[in-house]
Amino acid sequence: MSLIPSKKADVVAKNVAGEMVLLIPSTGRYFGLNAVGTNFWEKMDGSLTMDEIADAIAEQYKVEATMVKADLQELAEQLVANQLIELT
């Protein structure tokens, strides 16, 4: 997972009670992220790799990095499919 996730420029993000709500203006569709997904979104700055973000989240939550990496990979695929992020 050495890909670098980056947010699409046209996505509107709003933190509501600790969870991120994302709006895709071109479609008017919303996408919600739980607390861990919100953490992932906030760490996604276009310079950190998926592995680096997963390691930081695993350390923060004191869980196995392999579990976090699998979960983040699944989330990233959903975000790509919904045109919210790019993986490069």
Written out in words, the top-level CATH class of the domain with range 5-87 is mainly alpha
Q: Name every residue whose Cβ is closer than 8 Å to that of residue 83 and which is 6 or more positions away in sequence.
A: 8, 24, 26, 27
Compute CA 17 distance to the chain's CA centroid, rounded to the nearest angstrom: 17
Q: Digits of tens for pLDDT over the chain (88 positions)? A: 589 999 999 999 999 998 999 998 888 999 999 999 999 999 999 999 999 999 999 999 999 999 999 999 999 999 999 999 999 9
Write down the pLDDT at residue 56: 97
